[in-house]
Structure 1
Amino acid sequence: MKPFYALFALTLAASAAACKPSPQAESVSAGTPEAAASHSPAVGAATQTPPAGEPDTADTLALTPFEPTTVEIYCRFQRQAENGELGGALFITEIAGVPAPAAIGLDGQAVGLEEVSKTEQEGAAIWTYRNAERPVEVQLTLTETDEGFEYRAYEGTIRIVDPVQGEIIPIEGTCGV
Protein backbone atom coordinates (compact mmCIF):
# COMPACT_ATOMS: atom_id res chain seq x y z
CA MET A 1 0.00 0.00 0.00
CA LYS A 2 2.97 2.34 0.58
CA PRO A 3 3.84 2.53 -3.15
CA PHE A 4 0.31 3.83 -3.79
CA TYR A 5 0.83 6.71 -1.33
CA ALA A 6 4.19 7.55 -2.91
CA LEU A 7 2.59 7.59 -6.37
CA PHE A 8 -0.27 9.74 -5.07
CA ALA A 9 2.20 12.22 -3.51
CA LEU A 10 4.16 12.50 -6.79
CA THR A 11 0.96 12.98 -8.80
CA LEU A 12 -0.27 15.65 -6.38
CA ALA A 13 3.07 17.50 -6.55
CA ALA A 14 3.03 17.43 -10.37
CA SER A 15 -0.56 18.68 -10.42
CA ALA A 16 0.23 21.53 -8.06
CA ALA A 17 3.26 22.51 -10.13
CA ALA A 18 1.10 22.72 -13.26
CA CYS A 19 -1.25 25.25 -11.61
CA LYS A 20 1.10 27.31 -9.45
CA PRO A 21 3.51 29.92 -10.84
CA SER A 22 7.17 28.99 -10.48
CA PRO A 23 9.04 31.30 -8.06
CA GLN A 24 12.24 30.93 -10.13
CA ALA A 25 10.59 32.11 -13.34
CA GLU A 26 11.72 35.36 -14.87
CA SER A 27 9.34 38.25 -14.56
CA VAL A 28 8.16 40.40 -17.42
CA SER A 29 9.85 43.79 -17.33
CA ALA A 30 7.77 46.95 -17.41
CA GLY A 31 7.66 48.88 -20.66
CA THR A 32 7.58 45.82 -22.92
CA PRO A 33 4.61 44.75 -25.06
CA GLU A 34 4.33 41.66 -22.85
CA ALA A 35 3.97 43.85 -19.75
CA ALA A 36 1.30 45.93 -21.44
CA ALA A 37 -0.62 42.78 -22.34
CA SER A 38 -0.35 41.45 -18.79
CA HIS A 39 -1.99 44.59 -17.34
CA SER A 40 -5.09 44.29 -19.49
CA PRO A 41 -8.33 43.45 -17.68
CA ALA A 42 -10.18 40.28 -18.63
CA VAL A 43 -13.48 42.08 -19.24
CA GLY A 44 -13.51 44.40 -22.24
CA ALA A 45 -10.02 43.41 -23.38
CA ALA A 46 -11.25 42.21 -26.76
CA THR A 47 -12.22 45.76 -27.74
CA GLN A 48 -8.70 47.16 -27.30
CA THR A 49 -6.93 48.30 -30.46
CA PRO A 50 -3.25 47.66 -31.07
CA PRO A 51 -0.91 50.64 -30.60
CA ALA A 52 0.29 52.52 -33.67
CA GLY A 53 3.04 50.70 -35.50
CA GLU A 54 1.72 47.22 -34.69
CA PRO A 55 0.28 45.17 -37.53
CA ASP A 56 -3.48 44.80 -37.79
CA THR A 57 -4.77 41.51 -36.37
CA ALA A 58 -5.88 40.46 -39.88
CA ASP A 59 -2.16 40.12 -40.72
CA THR A 60 -1.36 37.99 -37.66
CA LEU A 61 -1.76 34.40 -36.62
CA ALA A 62 -5.19 33.65 -35.16
CA LEU A 63 -6.01 31.61 -32.05
CA THR A 64 -8.91 29.34 -32.94
CA PRO A 65 -10.84 26.59 -31.16
CA PHE A 66 -9.40 23.10 -31.67
CA GLU A 67 -10.11 19.52 -30.70
CA PRO A 68 -7.37 18.31 -28.30
CA THR A 69 -5.57 15.14 -29.40
CA THR A 70 -5.54 13.81 -25.81
CA VAL A 71 -8.10 13.17 -23.10
CA GLU A 72 -5.40 13.63 -20.42
CA ILE A 73 -6.19 17.35 -19.99
CA TYR A 74 -5.30 19.21 -16.79
CA CYS A 75 -6.00 22.85 -17.73
CA ARG A 76 -8.55 23.85 -20.37
CA PHE A 77 -9.32 27.44 -21.39
CA GLN A 78 -11.89 28.66 -23.90
CA ARG A 79 -13.49 31.96 -24.89
CA GLN A 80 -15.67 33.39 -22.14
CA ALA A 81 -19.24 32.11 -22.25
CA GLU A 82 -21.71 34.01 -24.40
CA ASN A 83 -25.40 33.30 -23.79
CA GLY A 84 -24.40 30.52 -21.39
CA GLU A 85 -22.47 28.54 -24.03
CA LEU A 86 -18.72 27.95 -23.80
CA GLY A 87 -16.59 27.97 -26.91
CA GLY A 88 -14.12 25.28 -27.97
CA ALA A 89 -10.70 24.87 -26.37
CA LEU A 90 -8.18 27.63 -27.18
CA PHE A 91 -5.45 26.40 -24.77
CA ILE A 92 -4.87 23.18 -22.82
CA THR A 93 -2.18 21.62 -20.65
CA GLU A 94 -1.75 17.90 -20.21
CA ILE A 95 -1.68 16.02 -16.90
CA ALA A 96 1.71 14.36 -17.46
CA GLY A 97 5.02 16.16 -17.24
CA VAL A 98 6.62 18.88 -15.16
CA PRO A 99 6.35 21.35 -16.69
CA ALA A 100 3.28 19.98 -18.42
CA PRO A 101 3.12 20.15 -22.23
CA ALA A 102 0.47 22.49 -23.63
CA ALA A 103 -1.32 23.13 -26.92
CA ILE A 104 -3.23 25.93 -28.63
CA GLY A 105 -5.51 26.08 -31.61
CA LEU A 106 -3.67 28.08 -34.27
CA ASP A 107 -5.46 28.76 -37.54
CA GLY A 108 -7.55 25.62 -36.99
CA GLN A 109 -4.63 23.30 -36.14
CA ALA A 110 -3.42 21.99 -32.76
CA VAL A 111 0.09 23.31 -32.04
CA GLY A 112 2.16 21.90 -29.16
CA LEU A 113 3.83 24.31 -26.72
CA GLU A 114 6.49 24.23 -24.00
CA GLU A 115 6.35 26.33 -20.84
CA VAL A 116 8.68 29.34 -20.85
CA SER A 117 7.69 30.89 -17.52
CA LYS A 118 4.99 31.23 -14.89
CA THR A 119 5.13 34.44 -12.88
CA GLU A 120 2.80 36.54 -10.80
CA GLN A 121 2.29 40.26 -11.30
CA GLU A 122 -0.21 42.49 -9.50
CA GLY A 123 -2.28 39.51 -8.32
CA ALA A 124 -2.49 37.87 -11.75
CA ALA A 125 -0.68 34.75 -12.93
CA ILE A 126 1.28 35.29 -16.16
CA TRP A 127 1.92 32.07 -18.09
CA THR A 128 4.13 32.14 -21.19
CA TYR A 129 4.41 29.20 -23.60
CA ARG A 130 6.36 28.78 -26.85
CA ASN A 131 6.75 26.50 -29.85
CA ALA A 132 10.27 27.04 -31.21
CA GLU A 133 9.66 25.14 -34.46
CA ARG A 134 6.60 27.12 -35.54
CA PRO A 135 7.72 29.78 -34.05
CA VAL A 136 4.93 31.16 -31.87
CA GLU A 137 4.70 32.39 -28.29
CA VAL A 138 1.50 32.94 -26.28
CA GLN A 139 0.86 34.65 -22.99
CA LEU A 140 -2.02 33.96 -20.61
CA THR A 141 -2.92 36.48 -17.90
CA LEU A 142 -5.09 34.68 -15.34
CA THR A 143 -6.93 35.51 -12.13
CA GLU A 144 -8.22 32.71 -9.91
CA THR A 145 -12.00 32.93 -9.47
CA ASP A 146 -12.78 29.72 -7.56
CA GLU A 147 -10.98 26.87 -5.85
CA GLY A 148 -12.18 23.40 -4.96
CA PHE A 149 -10.65 20.23 -3.57
CA GLU A 150 -9.13 19.17 -6.89
CA TYR A 151 -9.51 22.17 -9.21
CA ARG A 152 -9.04 25.91 -9.69
CA ALA A 153 -11.16 28.13 -11.93
CA TYR A 154 -9.69 31.12 -13.77
CA GLU A 155 -10.66 34.10 -15.91
CA GLY A 156 -8.25 36.16 -17.94
CA THR A 157 -6.88 36.73 -21.40
CA ILE A 158 -4.75 34.91 -23.95
CA ARG A 159 -2.71 36.58 -26.67
CA ILE A 160 -0.08 35.65 -29.23
CA VAL A 161 2.93 37.83 -28.36
CA ASP A 162 5.49 36.52 -30.87
CA PRO A 163 6.20 36.68 -33.80
CA VAL A 164 3.68 39.57 -33.80
CA GLN A 165 1.16 40.91 -31.29
CA GLY A 166 -2.19 39.17 -31.72
CA GLU A 167 -5.72 39.89 -30.58
CA ILE A 168 -6.37 39.87 -26.82
CA ILE A 169 -9.03 37.20 -26.23
CA PRO A 170 -11.00 36.96 -22.96
CA ILE A 171 -10.92 33.37 -21.65
CA GLU A 172 -12.16 31.27 -18.76
CA GLY A 173 -11.36 27.75 -17.70
CA THR A 174 -10.20 25.34 -15.04
CA CYS A 175 -7.15 23.39 -13.98
CA GLY A 176 -7.64 20.14 -12.11
CA VAL A 177 -8.97 16.64 -12.31
Structure 2
Amino acid sequence: MNGLAGTTALLLSRIRDVPDHPEPGVTFKDITPLLADPVAFTALTEALAEISVRNGATKIVGLEARGFILGAPVAVRAGLGFIPVRKAGKLPGATLSQSYDLEYGSAEIEVHAEDLAPGDRVMVVDDVLATGGTAEASLQLIRRAGAQVAGVAVLVELGFLGGRARLEPALDGVPLEALLTV
Protein backbone atom coordinates (compact mmCIF):
# COMPACT_ATOMS: atom_id res chain seq x y z
CA MET A 1 0.00 0.00 0.00
CA ASN A 2 1.34 3.43 -0.91
CA GLY A 3 0.46 5.42 2.21
CA LEU A 4 -2.79 7.24 2.87
CA ALA A 5 -3.50 7.96 -0.81
CA GLY A 6 -3.13 4.26 -1.64
CA THR A 7 -5.38 3.24 1.24
CA THR A 8 -8.00 5.81 0.25
CA ALA A 9 -7.99 4.62 -3.37
CA LEU A 10 -8.22 0.98 -2.31
CA LEU A 11 -11.15 1.61 0.06
CA LEU A 12 -13.01 3.72 -2.51
CA SER A 13 -12.55 1.05 -5.16
CA ARG A 14 -14.19 -1.56 -2.93
CA ILE A 15 -17.36 0.40 -2.02
CA ARG A 16 -20.22 -0.22 -4.42
CA ASP A 17 -23.02 2.27 -5.05
CA VAL A 18 -26.47 0.66 -5.18
CA PRO A 19 -28.97 3.11 -6.69
CA ASP A 20 -32.54 3.30 -5.38
CA HIS A 21 -31.89 1.21 -2.26
CA PRO A 22 -33.61 0.99 0.17
CA GLU A 23 -35.99 3.35 -1.65
CA PRO A 24 -36.08 5.37 -4.88
CA GLY A 25 -33.66 8.30 -4.91
CA VAL A 26 -31.31 6.83 -2.28
CA THR A 27 -27.85 5.57 -3.27
CA PHE A 28 -26.75 2.92 -0.78
CA LYS A 29 -23.03 2.60 -0.03
CA ASP A 30 -22.42 -1.18 -0.02
CA ILE A 31 -19.26 -2.12 1.88
CA THR A 32 -19.60 -5.88 1.40
CA PRO A 33 -17.07 -5.92 -1.50
CA LEU A 34 -14.58 -4.21 0.85
CA LEU A 35 -15.23 -6.78 3.57
CA ALA A 36 -14.75 -9.62 1.08
CA ASP A 37 -11.29 -8.32 0.09
CA PRO A 38 -8.78 -9.28 2.81
CA VAL A 39 -6.27 -6.62 1.72
CA ALA A 40 -8.87 -3.82 1.79
CA PHE A 41 -10.47 -5.04 5.04
CA THR A 42 -7.04 -5.23 6.69
CA ALA A 43 -6.18 -1.70 5.50
CA LEU A 44 -9.48 -0.43 6.91
CA THR A 45 -8.94 -2.21 10.22
CA GLU A 46 -5.39 -0.85 10.52
CA ALA A 47 -6.50 2.72 9.76
CA LEU A 48 -9.34 2.68 12.31
CA ALA A 49 -7.12 1.01 14.94
CA GLU A 50 -4.47 3.70 14.43
CA ILE A 51 -7.09 6.43 14.95
CA SER A 52 -8.31 4.71 18.13
CA VAL A 53 -4.83 4.31 19.62
CA ARG A 54 -3.81 7.86 18.64
CA ASN A 55 -6.85 9.23 20.50
CA GLY A 56 -6.13 7.23 23.67
CA ALA A 57 -9.13 4.90 23.47
CA THR A 58 -9.39 2.09 26.01
CA LYS A 59 -12.56 0.57 24.50
CA ILE A 60 -14.26 0.45 21.11
CA VAL A 61 -18.02 0.85 20.75
CA GLY A 62 -19.48 -0.56 17.53
CA LEU A 63 -22.91 0.63 16.41
CA GLU A 64 -25.42 -1.93 15.19
CA ALA A 65 -25.02 -3.52 12.77
CA ARG A 66 -22.10 -2.77 10.45
CA GLY A 67 -20.27 -1.04 13.28
CA PHE A 68 -20.00 -4.52 14.84
CA ILE A 69 -18.31 -5.85 11.70
CA LEU A 70 -15.77 -3.00 11.72
CA GLY A 71 -15.42 -2.35 15.44
CA ALA A 72 -14.61 -5.88 16.62
CA PRO A 73 -11.47 -6.37 14.47
CA VAL A 74 -10.41 -2.79 15.20
CA ALA A 75 -10.60 -3.55 18.93
CA VAL A 76 -8.58 -6.75 18.49
CA ARG A 77 -5.95 -4.98 16.36
CA ALA A 78 -5.67 -2.10 18.85
CA GLY A 79 -5.62 -4.41 21.89
CA LEU A 80 -8.83 -2.91 23.28
CA GLY A 81 -12.17 -4.20 24.53
CA PHE A 82 -15.21 -4.18 22.24
CA ILE A 83 -18.69 -3.07 23.32
CA PRO A 84 -21.72 -3.56 21.05
CA VAL A 85 -24.36 -0.83 21.06
CA ARG A 86 -27.58 -2.56 20.03
CA LYS A 87 -31.09 -1.68 19.02
CA ALA A 88 -33.44 -1.68 22.02
CA GLY A 89 -34.55 -5.08 23.28
CA LYS A 90 -31.60 -7.08 21.88
CA LEU A 91 -29.34 -7.24 24.95
CA PRO A 92 -30.10 -9.44 27.97
CA GLY A 93 -29.72 -8.13 31.51
CA ALA A 94 -29.41 -4.58 32.79
CA THR A 95 -28.98 -1.97 30.07
CA LEU A 96 -28.75 1.76 29.63
CA SER A 97 -30.82 3.11 26.75
CA GLN A 98 -30.92 6.29 24.70
CA SER A 99 -33.72 7.42 22.38
CA TYR A 100 -33.09 9.57 19.33
CA ASP A 101 -34.98 11.06 16.44
CA LEU A 102 -34.74 9.91 12.86
CA GLU A 103 -35.90 11.74 9.75
CA TYR A 104 -39.09 9.65 9.81
CA GLY A 105 -39.59 8.64 13.45
CA SER A 106 -37.55 7.65 16.44
CA ALA A 107 -35.38 4.78 17.61
CA GLU A 108 -33.57 3.60 20.72
CA ILE A 109 -30.17 2.04 21.36
CA GLU A 110 -28.82 0.18 24.38
CA VAL A 111 -25.58 -0.94 25.97
CA HIS A 112 -24.99 -3.30 28.91
CA ALA A 113 -24.88 -1.14 32.02
CA GLU A 114 -21.68 -2.77 33.32
CA ASP A 115 -19.68 -2.56 30.07
CA LEU A 116 -18.72 1.12 30.41
CA ALA A 117 -17.31 2.77 33.51
CA PRO A 118 -15.65 5.97 34.68
CA GLY A 119 -12.09 6.04 33.39
CA ASP A 120 -12.97 4.35 30.10
CA ARG A 121 -12.06 6.33 26.97
CA VAL A 122 -14.38 5.13 24.25
CA MET A 123 -13.96 5.36 20.47
CA VAL A 124 -17.20 5.02 18.51
CA VAL A 125 -16.68 3.06 15.26
CA ASP A 126 -19.23 2.81 12.47
CA ASP A 127 -19.31 2.32 8.72
CA VAL A 128 -21.18 5.45 7.63
CA LEU A 129 -21.92 8.84 9.15
CA ALA A 130 -25.17 9.97 7.53
CA THR A 131 -27.46 12.28 9.51
CA GLY A 132 -25.61 11.62 12.79
CA GLY A 133 -28.58 10.54 14.90
CA THR A 134 -27.26 7.15 15.97
CA ALA A 135 -23.77 8.50 16.61
CA GLU A 136 -25.16 11.38 18.68
CA ALA A 137 -27.24 8.96 20.77
CA SER A 138 -24.18 6.74 21.33
CA LEU A 139 -22.17 9.71 22.63
CA GLN A 140 -24.96 10.53 25.08
CA LEU A 141 -25.13 6.88 26.18
CA ILE A 142 -21.36 6.64 26.72
CA ARG A 143 -21.32 9.79 28.85
CA ARG A 144 -24.39 8.70 30.85
CA ALA A 145 -22.49 5.51 31.71
CA GLY A 146 -19.74 7.71 33.21
CA ALA A 147 -17.18 7.02 30.48
CA GLN A 148 -15.35 9.58 28.34
CA VAL A 149 -15.65 9.80 24.57
CA ALA A 150 -12.25 9.50 22.85
CA GLY A 151 -13.73 10.21 19.42
CA VAL A 152 -15.77 8.93 16.51
CA ALA A 153 -14.22 7.11 13.55
CA VAL A 154 -16.14 6.11 10.43
CA LEU A 155 -15.29 4.60 7.08
CA VAL A 156 -17.48 6.97 5.03
CA GLU A 157 -19.01 10.34 5.83
CA LEU A 158 -21.94 11.34 3.62
CA GLY A 159 -21.13 15.04 3.83
CA PHE A 160 -24.24 16.18 1.96
CA LEU A 161 -26.48 14.87 4.79
CA GLY A 162 -25.04 17.20 7.46
CA GLY A 163 -24.24 14.60 10.11
CA ARG A 164 -21.01 16.32 11.15
CA ALA A 165 -22.82 19.60 11.83
CA ARG A 166 -25.46 17.79 13.87
CA LEU A 167 -22.77 16.00 15.89
CA GLU A 168 -20.55 19.02 16.61
CA PRO A 169 -22.30 20.01 19.88
CA ALA A 170 -22.38 16.39 21.12
CA LEU A 171 -18.72 15.85 20.23
CA ASP A 172 -17.76 18.59 22.69
CA GLY A 173 -14.29 18.94 21.19
CA VAL A 174 -13.44 15.26 20.63
CA PRO A 175 -12.41 14.31 17.09
CA LEU A 176 -14.64 12.95 14.36
CA GLU A 177 -12.51 11.23 11.71
CA ALA A 178 -13.84 9.87 8.42
CA LEU A 179 -11.51 7.88 6.19
CA LEU A 180 -13.60 8.85 3.15
CA THR A 181 -16.01 11.73 2.54
CA VAL A 182 -18.53 11.73 -0.29
TM-score, structure 1 normalization: 0.27
- Which has the larger share of helix? 2
TM-score, structure 2 normalization: 0.27
- Which has the larger share of strand? 1
The structure with higher relative contact order (CA 8 Å, sep 6+) is 1
